[in-house]
Amino acid sequence: MATHVNPGSAQAGDHGTIHREVSPEQQTVEQRLVDSVVASFGACQDPRLQELMVSLVKHLHSFIREVRLTEEEWGVAIDFLTKAGHITDEVRQEFILLSDTLGASMQTININNQAYEGATEATVFGPFFVEDSPAIELGDDLAFGAPGEPCWVEGTVTDTDGTPLAGARIEVWEADEDGLYDVQYDAGKRAGRAHLFSAADGSYRFWGLTPTPYPIPNDGPVGKMLDAVGRSPLRASHLHFMVSHEGARTLVTHIFPEGDPIGRKDTVFGVKDSLIKRFERQPAGTATPDGRVIDGTWSRVRFDIVLAPVDV
């Protein structure tokens, strides 16, 4: 009986895919099922929902057929999703972690925040933003006692023509030197985060902490998956920003220190070259921009933020 490479499989050696041969009769059985599932969405009244469901089913079946999924593997996948559901609650979102570690979050961000003439690039949101961060004034410290090396952060917020944007809301959040966010200690704790507003000339400045690498929460099924495939759970060091201003596209981004040991191996694929900044370490005793005396070393970084117009 003639055999054929199953549909959807890659060329020999491409991405390591192993070809398996499937008889024409078997292909007909499999394709008939795909066709009937696709047809089951024929009466859907919402065209976008219909497009999403049909495409999802086609890709899902194509994956199952390409890898010739075993029933045991199907069971492992169901068990994985069940565990992801069980560990998910108001503060722990395992499905977003899964999306992040498969690059699906970053791809969705790429599609929805397309590059715009010199505007600052976006990256992943992450799970640790909270709505009620403390307000600080320009030049204040957002550490609120979180441990870590002090870092002076300054820059401007402008539109893509270079016009300063006064009163832009700048939300900043970051992990402490032990790699933990405030909410990981206690849901009500607020430290290592704040919001402030840009001045009339678009400038902003604050004290934060020099970012350090830390692992994503890896005590659940996503951590096990990373372990099983030999991937590190570490994120490149970063400082989160969300910047908004009327008439501008809200920017969710990070900055990453140049020379970071994790760098491009960031486990959620969030690093973009334009977001890598020079954090200059200052020896102990160096005068700070606001005349403070700091016992140990500190660092400083400049991050000029350019917001794209809304609806681009």
> Which positions touch ligand BEZ (CB under 6 A)?
97, 100, 124, 126-128, 216, 235, 268
Residue 267 corresponds to which tokens in the numbers above? 């486990």
SS3 219: coil
Residue 100 site contact among ligand BEZ, Fe ion, none (CB < 5 to 8 Å, cut-off depends on kind): ligand BEZ
d(C-alpha 158, C-alpha 141), whole Å: 23
Binding span for Fe ion by CB under 5 A among 106-114, 124-132, 224-232, 283-291:
124-132
The single residue among 101, 126, 202, 216 that binds Fe ion, judged by CB under 5 A, is 126
Least distance to Fe ion, CB of residue 88, Å: 18
Residue 122 CB, nearest approach to ligand BEZ (Å): 13
- Contact by Cβ (8 Å): 146, 209: yes
How many angstroms separate the CA atoms of 3 and 24, rounded?
A: 7
CB of 197 to ligand BEZ, least distance (A): 24
Residues 288, 154: Cα–Cα separation, whole Å: 12
Angle between helices 221-228 and 94-101 (to 10 degrees): 30
The helix or strand, by DSSP H or E, that contains position 35, with its residue range, turns out to be helix 24-39
C-beta of 22 vs 243, nearer to ligand BEZ: 243
**Helix, strand, or coil here: 283?**
coil
Q: How far is the CB of 148 from Fe ion (least distance, A)?
A: 13
> Which partner in Fe ion, ligand BEZ, none is near 124 (CB below 5 to 8 A by kind)?
ligand BEZ
Choosing among ligand BEZ, Fe ion, none, which partner's interface includes residue 234 (Cβ < 5 to 8 Å by kind)?
A: none
Residue whose CB is less far from ligand BEZ, 158 or 184? 184
Partners of residue 151 on adjacent β-strands: 208, 299
Contacts with Fe ion, residue ranges (CB under 5 A): 126
